[in-house]
Amino acid sequence: MRSINLGPFKVSAISLGCMNLSHAYGKPPSAQQGERVLLAALDAGVTLFDTAALYGFGANETLVGRVLKAHRSRFTLASKGGMGGVAGDDGVVRRVIDGRPEAIRRNCEDSLRRLQTDVIDLYYLHRWDKKVPVEESVGALARLVEQGKVRTIGLSEVSAATIRKAHAVHPVTAVQTEYSLWTRNPEIAVLDACEELGATFVAFSPVARGFLCDALHDVTTLDAKDIRRAMPRFEPAHYARNLALLPGYKALAQEAGCTPAQLALAWLLHKRPFILPIPGTTSVDHLHEDLAAADVRLAPDLLQRLEAHINQDTVSGHRYSAQARTEVDTEDYPDQAG
């Protein structure tokens, strides 16, 4: 697979988001299946693995550390802090955003231990804690670099203005945000900011949380703990309208000679040379399907028709609930701001 620059690293142009192996979409696969996917990705040439303290409240980092420790020299390791799980008085672990420097230091130490490594190559602020100036949180990340615990730093789900504030404190190697045909918010300002500052843009949920794989037709079958149940686009009324986009989308994939998932990934690779998709999967077969998208070539006319078919104006529903939107700093299109 061809590679792209990620700060001082060269990584596979399609890499692996590890979240699905422990978190978010209902009951995760077994540890044995997670191990199979991780090792298959490594064998297939994936050289960036992306995890976070939040995923499975540490379980994902533990899995990645256990499985990939022996191969540490073969890949670039990314993780995230500033958001994780905290047990309440009732014993229930809940997600907490905490960007205080002392919290970030503690998060990093915990991640290093779970990942069984001396250094994290790319360490993100998972969410900007709006109670803490971003300069303070990034200052804590910079000190981790000085201490040799982290090689480079990144930000997740932030605006162009916040990226520039952070970059003034310490160079930002990567910005990670949801980006796909049906979530185009980075096109407002963040992609331009990344290009200006020389940061790689890492696109998570590049296949629209399964929608662009043509893999989910009945949202009522989603697991009770699947995070998509709280996302407006997956509410039955919105999703019914979104499903109407799939026949035309699949026809474009057929014209391009690829699968629907490959079309979504190939579109991202055609957008700008510094965009790095990190699809996640629990299936080795789907992993190989995703990675093959690096070889798909799309004609300019097909790209234009594809973007006209699925975009912020044709998709029904916001990507996040009203509560979740308060936790991110990304720009919105005017009709999505409410």
Which domain CATH number covers 197?
Answer: 3.20.20.100
- Prediction pTM value: 0.97
Q: Does 253 map to a domain?
A: no
Q: Does 56 map to a domain?
A: yes
Q: What's the pLDDT at 337?
A: 46
Q: Does 228 map to a domain?
A: no
Structural domain span for residue 119: 3-211+264-292
First to last CA, the chain: 42
Q: What's the pLDDT at 338?
A: 41
List residues with catalytic annotation: 55
Q: What's the pLDDT at 93?
A: 81
Q: Does 235 map to a domain?
A: no
Q: What's the pLDDT at 336?
A: 59
Q: What is the mean pLDDT of each run of 10 residues along the chain (338 residues)?
A: 96 98 95 98 98 96 98 98 88 90 98 98 98 98 98 98 98 98 98 98 98 95 95 97 98 98 98 98 98 98 98 97 96 73
Q: Does 300 map to a domain?
A: no
Q: Does 153 map to a domain?
A: yes
CA–CA gap between residue 299 and residue 140 (Å, rounded)? 45
User: What's the number of domains the chain is made of?
Assistant: 1
- Within 13 A of 328's CA, how many CA atoms are on the CB side? 21
Secondary structure (DSSP) of 218-259: -GGGS-TTBGGGGSGGGSHHHHHHHHTTHHHHHHHHHHHTS-
Q: Does 287 map to a domain?
A: yes
